[in-house]
Copies of this chain bind each other. A is one copy, B any other.
Amino acid sequence: MWRLHHFALCPFSRKLRLLMSEKGVPFTLEEENPFAMREEFFLINPTGRTPALTHEDKDITLADSRAIAEYFDETVEKNPMINGTAAGRAEIRRLVALFDENFWGDVTAPLLSERYAKRVVARAAPDSRALRDAMRLADQHLDYIDYLVDHRRWLAGATMSLADLTAAAQISVADYLGGIDWRGHESARGWYSVFKSRPSFQPLLADRVDGVAPPRHYSDVNA
């Protein structure tokens, strides 16, 4: 059985939980708080970042959420998530990078820093300007998702792909941390609410971390 070393509010871990669940790959979860910088975890992943994946029977260690996603798309046939023509696959991967790098850097990382790491780990006050900037940038990213959903059935094209899982994973963490204002983003909200009702999403919505409670609408599948 695969063992996913994850952190409940790590969007890259969440992407893999969604992917493995959608593809029907069984796995157990092992909680690893990357803010704790546990020495033993650096032996599993030299970058110290979640997620990493080990296997109880095989001598294999995988790290980096995109590398792991490609691995499962290559080895497990069910529900291909990087599918289509070469150009279509490039579009999926472009959007995966956009959410993993830009949404993460603009929105999820500052929210995690201000509303989790500072409050819970360092017991310091959040920087309200950094929070305002993150929420303003979240709004611009939601505009882009509105645009994509208005032109395509799913974010990267006609079928659900790793782009959708990646975006939903980032947004779910930002939403938990109170950084998402859905007003004026009906298209994005409609796309996201389809996700929230999928079986793969329910364990994510049930997760809680000590010290930070999500807003009321967070786990409401009708919100």
What residues make up the interface of A, taking CB atoms closer than 8 Å to B? Answer: 46-47, 60, 62-64, 66-68, 70-71, 74-75, 86-87, 89-94, 96-98, 101-102, 144
Contact = CB atoms under 8 A, between A and B. Distances in A.
A90 B68 contact: yes
Contact of A97 (B67, B71, B74, B92): B67
Contact of A74 (B86, B98, B102): B86
A94 B74 contact: no
A93 B67 contact: yes
Given A46-B98, A87-B60, A93 B74 contact: no
Chain copies in the assembled complex:
2
Contacts of A70: 89-90, 93
Contact of A144 (B46, B86, B89, B144): B46
A90 B102 contact: no
Contacts of A102: 47
A114 B68 CA distance: 34
A62 B92 CA distance: 11
Nearest to A52: B94
A68 B97 CA distance: 11
13 contacts: A46-B98, A47-B98, A47-B101, A62-B94, A63-B94, A64-B93, A67-B94, A68-B90, A70-B89, A71-B86, A71-B89, A71-B90, A74-B86
Nearest to A53: B90
Contacts of A90: 62, 67-68, 70-71
A91 B92 CA distance: 21
A46, A62, A93, A102: residue with the most chain B Cβ atoms closer than 10 Å = A93
A89 B64 contact: no
A71 B89 CA distance: 8
Given A71-B90, A74-B86, A98 B66 contact: no
